[in-house]
Amino acid sequence: MSQQVWFITGSSRGLGRALVTAALEAGDRVVATARRPEALAEAVGTYGDRIHPLALDVTRPEAAREAVEAALARYGRIDVLVNNAGYANVAPIETADEDDFRAQFETNFWGVYHVTKAALPTLRRQGAGTVVQISSIGGRVGGSPGIASYQAAKFAVDGFSRVLAAETAPFGVQVMVVEPSGFATDWAGSSMTVHPIPAAYDETVGAMNRRVRQSPEGPAGDPQRAAEIIVRTVRRGRVPSHLLLGVNAATMALEHSRRQLAEATAWEKVSRSADFGEPYPVELPPEDTAR
């Protein structure tokens, strides 16, 4: 495949930084955006004019438009858009600060919206392009105590991306949602603020915090491998709608799908009975098989 131009948000560290390196090592060019683009100085020294660092606050729509324009002025096109910028803070829903909850959503969902919308006219005119949304296995399975804002945003990104894929397919644009499990990045380190956890939530939010932040083993996922897999997948042409990364991601997704299928099957007659012309009423399934 010929040299591609990547536009990556949240490029200064973690998976974003690994993606920058993987794309450059594959021979591509990268517009690497971050709040602090100076953190990419070493990459500029190594890869020269094939990397173009840009400052970008994804929560500002005008900044997203300016960054896309700067990318086009530098390289003339955008082949792969990666919405990677995001973070999570820990707090129970009951006691979480509303402003903090909203601020996370501004980055984790609205940032994706702003950057995607800014790039869409270019992708449509090109008649080609791939949008990569970095989500989480939590955005499919959910239910991780303490990070409601983050997971709610990831569910929203998934719904947004499914509609985006349907709307842009006629233009030759593909959309891939990446769903990692735990990876060795700063996501659960310096990027995460843990707010006070009341004793009543120690068994749920507290336990999650200890498992994620205080495990001596650390996350199993290798960001470099993940980045290389994403680059290889994009460069092959046709991408999957969803790409699971990590043992836990694959295991959790399959178990979740089996539970969903079993529940939908158990309740199928009840579900169908809500329509005119269907048998009604019908018996509810036994409680031990209803979930």
Residues with catalytic roles: 135, 150, 154
Count how many Cα atoms sit within 13 Å of the Cα of residue 228 in the half-sphere of its side chain.
6
CA–CA gap between residue 230 and residue 21 (Å, rounded): 12
CA–CA gap between residue 258 and residue 260 (Å, rounded): 5
- Location of structure tokens 């749920």: 204
Closest CA to 144 of 129, 134, 154: 154
What does the angle CA 117 – CA 2 – CA 74 come to, to the nearest 5 degrees?
50
CA–CA gap between residue 168 and residue 44 (Å, rounded): 33
Count how many Cα atoms sit within 13 Å of the Cα of residue 147 in the half-sphere of its side chain.
26
